[in-house]
Structure 1
Amino acid sequence: MAMFFDPFREMDRVAGQLLDSRQGPRLMPMDLYRDGDHYVLNADLPGIDPGSVDIDVDGQLLTIRAERTPRSQEGVKWLARERNGGTFLRQLNLGAGIDTAAISASYENGVLSVVIPVSEQAKPRKIEVQAGSPAATDVAVET
């Protein structure tokens, strides 16, 4: 008897298990970049109620949680249901040089944007160079 192995079907099965809401939080895709004196994090969270988004900072750990509740419609026959409900979770280690007290967030068109400012101490700065002769010190010499 010949066995047939379809790697794409197997990958789909594994991905389905990883994304199953009953098995724990889902990962949210995100972009992170630095723009001048702050970092910008954009996370895709389509269909999320903004009231369900929870952002915490504990020391240098930033945690983003969101919940998508499935629509329950009685008496319908689903032909396709790929947008299941569940919890989304992302954690980032911010490291030193971040002003955690000034982090802000907004949600628009299914994208959560978190602005993470760099602290004043971590910003690049110029050191002024003094021109001229060094200050002379008077030295008294006794003979």
Structure 2
Amino acid sequence: MAMNFDPFRDLDRIAGALMDSRGPRLMPMDLYREGDVYILSADLPGIDPGSVDIDVDGQLLTIRAERTLANHEGVKWLTRERQAGSFLRQLNLGQGIDIEKIAASYDNGVLSVSIPVTEKAKPRKIEVTSSAEANTVTVKEGEHQITK
């Protein structure tokens, strides 16, 4: 079997092994607002949906997930790039979020979390009045009458 020598791949593998502290890994995510809901999409391929844990403590949203790989006895690995371990992401939600209505789903390796905005935080139209509208002047046959 012919193998290509790539020194950068080997250096990357060695550096990764040296710097890997087996701590939580970061999950790539997108976050956007659609109307009155924030949508968070996080890539978690190969994760068992039962291992995903989402909680809110005050204004801190925490997403945890665990990837476990099958342990194959008696095999000789040619390459093993998929990593097992914990994934963690924390976001400060700030004010104006309805934490009671946060919902999540997991489909095709993507975790989607919908984070709704509270009624108080939704944009609303403010009517502007002027003092000219508040005090109107009506004229009755030569008299001036002020109506408030």
TM beyond 0.5: yes
Higher strand proportion (structure 1 or 2) = 2
Identical positions, percent: 66
- Report SS of the residue matched to 2:50: helix
Gapped regions of structure 2 (runs ≥ 5)? 1-6, 136-146
CA distance in 1, matches of 2:72, 2:12: 31
Query: Structure 1 residues 34, 45: CA separation in 2 closer, same or farther (over 3 Å shift)?
Result: same
Bigger radius of gyration among the two: 2
Partner of 1:128: 127
Conserved 8 A contact 2:22-2:85: no
**Aligned-pair distance for 1:43?**
0.6
Query: Structure 1 residues 78, 11: CA separation in 2 closer, same or farther (over 3 Å shift)?
Result: closer
The answer on 1:106 being equivalent to 2:136 is no
**Aligned-pair distance for 1:38?**
0.9
- Report SS of the residue matched to 2:100: helix
- Matched ranges for 1:1-143 at <5 A: 13-18=14-19, 20=20, 22-129=21-128, 133-134=133-134, 136-137=147-148
What do you get for the CA RMSD once the two structures are aligned?
A: 2.3
Report the AA paired with residue 134 of structure 1: A
Partner of 1:141: none
**Aligned-pair distance for 1:12?**
5.6
**Aligned-pair distance for 1:128?**
3.4
CA distance in 2, matches of 1:12, 1:62: 32
TM-score (normalised: structure 1)? 0.79
